[in-house]
Structure 1
């Protein structure tokens, strides 16, 4: 079977960019894939226009994977077996606690919402399936960062630009690292009204059979001073461990 050369090159470019957290320049692509510069430029220009890659402009244009690629990946992920495994558990959990439950996975230095499970009378949340938010101010993102291996965590944190969404948003790297230590000590993370003034979330990590952090689940609720968020944290942590065991996780060796 004869393969289309331009399509092959396009896929190779996307794969290379997806493996480059810091991004790739046109020179990087041409050198590593042995491509003519004019051909590579035409392809990346088209990919950028379609939202498949992002362009960071500077002395040299830098390319990172784009939101449209993430969304295509999300559609694929929704068909994976593990989604079918965890879906009924998290759906029942949302009904049990009467709060919205999210499952999210890392994508660069953001978290992408893969699944959303709502109770009978859900609160209105801005997060939707396929959308993404920064890791440093979401409970999902914080636990993913806290439980990722050191090299991967440093790569993700290195790309973060700390933007304040509320007065409670984490402001810098040192503050984030301190909080990540606390997250690992207690086993769950808070979004303490850091993304939205009226919303409080608590999240816990999901591990795969190899003990690697696969993603995280979170519980979202309107902020109430009388709410016992430590109890909610323990609850989400227990449910996350239940889901992890279903996926083959046996605990840290």
Structure 2
């Protein structure tokens, strides 16, 4: 149990809040203020700070706070003793050996507006994009981003869309919110996302979401394929990508 007391430092109270949230599905401002023995305004300040940094999510429909993406990832790492890239790496390597195409692992960041690459195995090809580890890309026009958006609360996705600069990076980039939301609905039904030269010309990506043991999407993996060599390979790639994502999910 977290320690309580008004004399505690802000850092300690933030850590106590995280500990409470790891063990709860949701909480409210007043409930948290009672558990921390602080005023509701102080509890609200800590909750908002954690929401701003993706550790918590705020459901405005019922004013509840729930564990966010970064807290779920941290909880998984502590419970398993491994980081997400460590768990995923053997699967990514096997996928690369099977397909000989670039493989990417990513998570959502920056209030769900961007994808950050956690791992990558690059194929030897003339056309490349910079998706090195730590590199960020817009979520709205990448298969990784759309694969994760599709399985997040719609209100959070709409907020991320409204706060994003929806710039057409290529002639095929979707920049209208209704069009993107319609595509996300399709992704939810089929279980995977496709980026058809929307982020980079001549490259097409297929991505599948990765879920933790509570059914929350925490990451996604993708395969990047040159359009000139792709032909009709999507139908063969999709089940392979889905199977790889499921293998990682089963270990979280």
Q: TM-score range by the shorter chain?
A: 0.5 to 0.7
Q: Secondary structure of the equivalent of 1:137?
A: coil
Partner in structure 2 of residue 220 of structure 1: 224
Q: Which is further off, 228-237 or 184-193? A: 228-237
Partner in structure 2 of residue 158 of structure 1: 162
Matches of 2:162 and 2:92, distance apart in 1: 32
Shift of 1:233: 2.0
For the 8 Å contact 2:144–2:208, the answer to whether it is kept is: yes
For the 8 Å contact 1:91–1:118, the answer to whether it is kept is: no
Q: Secondary structure of the equivalent of 2:169?
A: coil
Within the candidate set 52, 68, 79, 1:20 is matched to: 52
Partner in structure 2 of residue 243 of structure 1: 248
1:93 paired with 2:95, answer yes
Matches of 1:6 and 1:239, distance apart in 2: 41
Matches of 1:105 and 1:189, distance apart in 2: 15
RMSD: 3.2
Partner in structure 2 of residue 168 of structure 1: 172
Q: Which is further off, 167-176 or 150-159? A: 150-159
Q: Which is further off, 104-113 or 124-133? A: 124-133
Matches of 2:201 and 2:208, distance apart in 1: 21
Shift of 1:19: 2.1
Which stretches in structure 2 are left out of the alignment for 5+ residues?
1-8, 16-41, 54-73
Shift of 1:6: 11
1:211 paired with 2:218, answer no
Shift of 1:15: 8.6
Matches of 1:125 and 1:153, distance apart in 2: 25
For the 8 Å contact 2:129–2:200, the answer to whether it is kept is: no
Provide TM-score, normalisation by structure 2.
Answer: 0.66
For the 8 Å contact 2:207–2:220, the answer to whether it is kept is: yes
Matches of 2:231 and 2:185, distance apart in 1: 26
Matches of 1:185 and 1:146, distance apart in 2: 9
Partner in structure 1 of residue 151 of structure 2: 147
Q: Secondary structure of the equivalent of 1:168?
A: coil
Which stretches in structure 1 are left out of the alignment for 5+ residues?
22-72, 248-253
Matches of 1:146 and 1:163, distance apart in 2: 20
For the 8 Å contact 1:165–1:196, the answer to whether it is kept is: yes
Provide TM-score, normalisation by structure 1.
Answer: 0.65
For the 8 Å contact 1:98–1:122, the answer to whether it is kept is: no
Shift of 1:175: 0.6
